[in-house]
Amino acid sequence: MRSRTSIVSLAILCGILCAGLFVGRAVAAPAEDARKAALIEGAKKEGKVVWYNMLTVVEANVVAKKFHEKYPFITAEMYRSGAENMMTKITAENQAKKYIFDVLMITAAESELLRRKGLFAKYLSPERKFFPENLRDAEGYWTDQYLNLNVIGYNTKLVSRQDLPKTYEDLLKPRWKGRMGMDTKAYNWFASVIKHMGEKKGLEFMKKLGEQNILFRTGRTLNAQLVGAGEVQLGIAVYNQRIEEMKEKGAPVEWLALEPVVPEIHPLSLSAHAPHPNAARLFLDYLLSKEGQEVIASFFRIPSRSDVEPRIPAMRKGFTIMDPDFSMVDQYDRYVKLYRELLMKK
């Protein structure tokens, strides 16, 4: 039995630790309040924030409206497009030393390329602690806004459950020849699967997959729609949120995850030359906040914040997801060339 003295000592120690924790929190709260107040004061003078993003027009307008309701003294101006057009625009602006955007949301490879060019500033938003370590840059250059998962979409009227592929190799079966569709630019999926399988095996797999007479069309949404219309029976590397949207509208579609699932992340970054730096930081905090991530979830997208569930929780549960991998950036042109040669036969 512990002595009375040791019990008293333990109680005192616990009291000291608890008091220290309380003091730490008490100090942190006013400091954060002061930081946010300073941002708000600065943002009022700036009046707007310019956000380049890859959401749909409808989705981006909803986000801007919600943010404006919270901070009516800031207007969110936007430019949205696909990654390729976005890169062309940002590169041209940077070369001309025209610094227009404050906050950027783009896909992983493009984000890394821009980071290496020095276009981003570090920003350690207090909301970052709610995001998994593999979905935020340790130095603070980016935090992921949402995930797209590359899955297999299929037409439920044309494909029986017993015929469904269970592995990537199952896509090579004669059953699927001439009956699959795919995006013309699924480069990240391509590079990630090769890396997972190993270079030699992965390239052999892709060469055989290219012999399956895949129908290529540009755009993940269009490819999902082709599945729903029955023009193809399977869609390779379509996004599961798009399939869920179509299901809600009555389309005969479903999706399955071939493991490990390749994610597409969408890092949020602060411009190194932000014209409206206070509004930009306030906007980033909002996008990463629980409220902002719940808005993202309302679009059927998969929020990256740990304490916010997707609209359909099963969209990111029950299967293994690869960690985001930026290494393809070092061989980006090579993977694009191989994609076109092996899969598209160009």
CATH code, 249: 3.40.190.10
Q: Give the pLDDT of residue 18.
A: 47
* Same structural domain, 228 and 81: no
* Same structural domain, 95 and 69: yes
Peptide bond into 174 cis (omega under 30): no
* Same structural domain, 99 and 194: no
Residue 31 contacts by C-beta under 8 Å, 6 or more apart in sequence?
A: none
List the chain residues with pLDDT less than 50.
1-5, 7-8, 10-14, 16-19, 21, 23, 27
* Same structural domain, 295 and 258: no
* Same structural domain, 117 and 86: yes
* Same structural domain, 243 and 128: no
Residue 297, token pair as written in the block: 């979830």
pTM summary value: 0.87
* Same structural domain, 143 and 77: yes
Answer yes or no: are the C-beta atoms of 180 and 232 closer than 8 Å.
Answer: yes
Residue 217 contacts by C-beta under 8 Å, 6 or more apart in sequence?
A: 181, 182, 183, 184, 223, 226
215 forms beta bridges with 181
* Same structural domain, 259 and 329: yes
* Same structural domain, 57 and 187: no
Count of structural domains, the chain = 3
Q: Give the Cα separation of 230 and 24 in Å (integer).
A: 60
Q: Give the pLDDT of residue 14.
A: 47
Q: Give the pLDDT of residue 20.
A: 52
* Same structural domain, 123 and 213: no
- The domain of 31 spans 1-39
Q: Give the pLDDT of residue 28.
A: 62
Q: Give the pLDDT of residue 328.
A: 85
Q: Give the pLDDT of residue 17.
A: 44
* Same structural domain, 203 and 127: no
Q: Give the pLDDT of residue 106.
A: 96
Nearest to 225 by CA among 263, 183, 187, 256: 183
Q: Give the pLDDT of residue 23.
A: 47
Q: Give the pLDDT of residue 16.
A: 45
Q: Give the Cα separation of 94 and 100 in Å (integer).
A: 9
* Same structural domain, 29 and 63: no
Q: Give the pLDDT of residue 123.
A: 98
Residue whose token pair is 């309040």: 33
